[in-house]
Structure 1
């Protein structure tokens, strides 16, 4: 989530003749799809994503290819969503280099819907208008325009919990029972208090959690209104909930509970195996990331408990088709299949991506995860999702969230006073968004 303003229009072409030529080219790659441009009927679909969606890792592409032998799927991905978003903005502005399918993070969809809707295919025109039927209502509503266009297909949502290392808790003399822990950290105040108890007993160099940014993002993710109100008015600088999350995160640093690790960096990834932190604010999709970074050697050493407030949403994604795609119908068929109930169940079972499909949610409530000490992940994340507010999504949510977490990084790693870092966040938000 970069701290810069997304460009709203494509680069000027300079001449009417060139503009007309490009218009004809764009029309030729419209909703008719691209199977006709492959003489042998074979189609290669490109998919560009961020993080770990799990489609490749859980074998869904291979499964799809068995029933669609004419389709080859090539995925590219960028681990850091901020870097991915910046690259996507460059491609959308220039009109080239886009994949047939692009991932969109939930914090970006309001910006896409209001500023870049003309860059993406209305799924109703390619036979996928019902792709979001059966999703939790707010997930579907976020990508449906006022005039009825459906511009993306919903994948997962991010109900929250806390993941923790049972072996490190035992070594520090703390309880490991997930029910007892959920009661102790039923509030963020309780979470911080238990963290102070932990660091007083833990081995030197081992602290409570990875970063202030992680805690801040989880805490603001519990709010219906975060950075903009229902009218679209920015409230990031006055919302008491945001200020409370900031104060709690600053206290985390002041009390020596943060490992001061920027998320998604090599140092952060390495810490999953070094024992540098004992807890992690943990949306459902994080459990697949933990497995990938910690590996089989740490199976049984991680567990999951309900987090403070027992709710919240962090992340969740969509799949959209740029209008530049030459294979729009084939891409629509693929995203319809990838986001169907059956595949959402498989993704949660194997990867931890919590379904946005209500039918899929009904099928996974009893699921346990052996890697996490047979934690009842279906129950924990279903209860979190059930209490989750329908969040108001602002056009600059990604920019604002990144500015706050960057500023907390200053507090952690350069010793900047929290008040000064807050002002830096305000300044950066205004520069990036104009709000």
Structure 2
């Protein structure tokens, strides 16, 4: 996963809107809708040029993978085409897939869009499951990119296993437990226990601070551990009767109607400033957020942040890469896609920016950068995230999974948290937006 600027003013106008992500290997550092190109290395000389279409910061170039591959394959040149925002990237990619031209040789697919791709665009992608060992990946990850008749249209890149990142200095000032293991034990098994601890924090909260950044982050983390959310296993839309959604919404409402939230919108500049100023003590923290926190909190946060296991195993974000049938270099593109998603390469991306692999065989040898480990108080980051990754439930995703989730967080929850509406009014606003998205 990776961080991702997945927020939009109006969801109904978009074919897909990035949710939570993702982040995702996709970075929030640049929050514009533009696109940029970056060469993995010089082409020419009769070499085959492969283009890789990504969003945000996938980490392949940053980890030197393109250069490594070109050294191993002197006949190949790689060019990465980057679109910063996923809510721009995916509609553009859909248009090109449907036209049968203009796609890159490899296209990234965010987890919130993978079901739509599987259900409506499978014929436009090469089957990548024929000559690859699917046991490399977590079962639920491969299942997300596989059609009912067994065609795998994408290979897993990162995932977003969940933890809680917290400011141990603020916890200490509030008189709370600071040891990560003991802290995790206090909220283990139920996100409501995490929220209840927020009530204790607020009794002695250091001046100008809140317990959590936003109610939306609590919702995304909680619902990320539910096997059934917006669709059931048969593909039926069930968002309005889902027990997992109701439980996660109620938990988020407890935050939104209390004094424990900083009431920030994630990925907005004010959220970034909250990290820098230390205005909230905890944040639901998928693996891809580790690098983001380090960047946005800056030097002043080093050694103050720590990481504890989340109340329940959950996933928030992640991506895939696929090869469109429109590629003029299918054989070479498939070979590159398999290499980029191999455990060894996923481990290199993790070492560079903490994007967590979807290949379990890589976990034993994962090594975060030394400065990242020190920044988070020497927390066993790899162990915490790998333990979560191995127990994340398989989720039933749907074609509009992403915009439904974004309607709940960016419309419903924000109505309550920032505009003072009641939970019933917030749910009503989210429901209207979702029905517009679904064309109901």
Pairwise same-fold verdict (TM > 0.5)? yes
Q: What is the distance in 1 between the residues matched to 2:310 and 2:356?
A: 16
Give the structure 2 partner of residue 281 of structure 1: 284
Deviation at 1:77, TM superposition (A): 3.7
> Any conservation in 1 of the 2:15–2:91 contact (CA below 8 Å)?
no
Map of 1:128-207 to 2, 5 A cutoff? 129-130=131-132, 132-186=134-188, 187-207=190-210
- Residue 421 (str. 1) matches residue 429 (str. 2): no
> Any conservation in 2 of the 1:367–1:378 contact (CA below 8 Å)?
no
Give the structure 2 partner of residue 33 of structure 1: none
Deviation at 1:111, TM superposition (A): 1.1
Deviation at 1:96, TM superposition (A): 5.4
Q: 1:162 to 1:96 in 2, by over 3 A?
A: same
Q: What is the distance in 2 between the residues matched to 1:221 and 1:380?
A: 16
Instruction: Please say which of residues 238-247 and 46-55 is displaced more in the overlay.
Output: 46-55
Q: What is the distance in 2 between the residues matched to 1:139 and 1:352?
A: 18
- Residue 378 (str. 1) matches residue 386 (str. 2): no
Q: What is the distance in 1 between the residues matched to 2:287 and 2:177?
A: 23
Q: What is the distance in 1 between the residues matched to 2:170 and 2:78?
A: 42
Give CA-to-partner distance per residue, 1:137-194, whole Å, 9 cap, x none: 2211222223443211111222111011222223333322101211222222221122
> Any conservation in 1 of the 2:278–2:297 contact (CA below 8 Å)?
no
Deviation at 1:57, TM superposition (A): 2.6
Give the structure 1 partner of residue 73 of structure 2: 68
Give the structure 2 partner of residue 334 of structure 1: 336
Q: What is the distance in 2 between the residues matched to 1:70 and 1:294?
A: 43
Deviation at 1:331, TM superposition (A): 2.4
SS in 2 for 1:123: coil
Instruction: Please say which of residues 291-300 and 280-289 is displaced more in the overlay.
Output: 291-300
Q: 1:91 to 1:212 in 2, by over 3 A?
A: farther
Q: 1:413 to 1:365 in 2, by over 3 A?
A: same
Q: 1:218 to 1:142 in 2, by over 3 A?
A: same
Give CA-to-partner distance per residue, 1:123-146, whole Å, 9 cap, x none: 36xxx7316442112211222223
Give the structure 2 partner of residue 44 of structure 1: 49
> Any conservation in 2 of the 1:365–1:382 contact (CA below 8 Å)?
no
Q: What is the distance in 2 between the residues matched to 1:338 and 1:50?
A: 16
Give the structure 2 partner of residue 89 of structure 1: 94
Deviation at 1:303, TM superposition (A): 0.9
With structure 1 as the length reference, what TM-score do the two structures score? 0.84
Give CA-to-partner distance per residue, 1:351-390, whole Å, 9 cap, x none: 2222221311344499993331111122211221222111
Q: What is the distance in 1 between the residues matched to 2:197 and 2:102?
A: 49
Q: 1:98 to 1:415 in 2, by over 3 A?
A: farther
Q: 1:276 to 1:73 in 2, by over 3 A?
A: farther
Q: What is the distance in 2 between the residues matched to 1:201 and 1:318?
A: 44
Give the structure 2 partner of residue 259 of structure 1: 262
> Any conservation in 1 of the 2:159–2:315 contact (CA below 8 Å)?
yes
Deviation at 1:93, TM superposition (A): 4.6
Deviation at 1:95, TM superposition (A): 5.2
- Residue 299 (str. 1) matches residue 302 (str. 2): yes
With structure 2 as the length reference, what TM-score do the two structures score? 0.83
Structure index of larger Rg: 1
Structure 2 unmatched runs, 5+:
1-5, 17-42
Map of 1:98-109 to 2, 5 A cutoff? 98-109=103-114
> Any conservation in 1 of the 2:160–2:317 contact (CA below 8 Å)?
yes
Q: What is the distance in 1 between the residues matched to 2:272 and 2:324?
A: 32
Q: Aligned-residue CA RMSD in angstroms?
A: 2.7
Give the structure 1 partner of residue 319 of structure 2: 317
Which of 386, 389, 409 in structure 1 is aligned with 2:393?
A: 389
- Residue 56 (str. 1) matches residue 58 (str. 2): no
Q: 1:299 to 1:62 in 2, by over 3 A?
A: farther
Give the structure 2 partner of residue 227 of structure 1: 230
Q: What is the distance in 1 between the residues matched to 2:95 and 2:125?
A: 15
